[in-house]
Structure 1
Amino acid sequence: MIKGITSNMTPLCLEPEDIGLAIGMLGSIRTDLSSIATAVYTAILSEKLTTNIPKYTGAVVATTGMSEQTLEEILTGLAAGQESFPDINPTEVAEVASEYQTAYAKSFQILYLVSLAFSVISVIAAIFTPDLKHRFTNEAARRLHGADINKKEAEAFNGEHENKGAV
């Protein structure tokens, strides 16, 4: 949605000769900012998961008495999408899986707050968007068709050939 709004509003903010440059810059800036946001989100999520998974799943080891090796096997399997563990007590697997989900939920809570910061920046940028009512006119910067377009194209074509012959 944001991409559509910015792509449609950019031509209204600029003179016709600057539209191509502005759309190119818009694409570059959008790519750069999304790369930065992805790096920030990935770094925060990775750090929080590294902290939260042992914090929440470690309690299961203490309450059930399972070994660290069994916990590691379950966590590795859960990370890979494995749903069943034939050699491990299903109750223990369910408890670890529940705490694993809790660890992910707690990690994503921080990402929600980070996304709010990005949203505040977007709202501030929207506040400073100029009023474009003066651009909504019936004036066309360049006509692409019309009753006399063929005549104008022929004149332009003949003028180019005459200039080339004179050189």
Structure 2
Amino acid sequence: MTLHWGPATERADLLAEPVAQAIGLLDDTVEVAEIDPGLADTAAFCERYGVGLDESANCVVVAARRGGETRYAACMVLATMRVDVNGVVRRHLDARKTSFAPMERAVELTGMEYGGITPIGLPGDWPILVDTDVAEHARVVIGSGLRRSKLAVSGAALARLKGAEVLTLAT
């Protein structure tokens, strides 16, 4: 199958509501392509649409706990890498314990579908931790907030999102 990319600002129907509201605020061109929602998971998507795993970035929602308080953050890493949640992320967020956020909670807090969560349109007080390899990419494919589409955006645009910090997150 071929991906047909077009301006995301012209296809709000392919974006989760929080993403549609935030997309126009970016100072970069973001494109969107409709996909088979059954192929939204990274490995299946990349194989079917011919996108390299090193061109695709995943957004992982992390719950960081300290002293009875739970804070959330998003981590962006290339699909070829794993987020060091218990090391780098835990220390950076000054948490006693970190873990992947439960699916239901991540969906509830973001207003996005699981498997389509993206850093664009996340709650404004969330840190967005962008791996250096993602930030250096000219163009990465990420979620759109929905399982039926993907976004293409520069790593530099992700690094400029409100609350974004660039660091080495992956192992």
- Given the two structures, how large is their TM-score scaled by the length of structure 1? 0.21
Q: Which is greater in Rg?
A: 1
More helix by share: 1
- Given the two structures, how large is their TM-score scaled by the length of structure 2? 0.21
More strand by share: 2
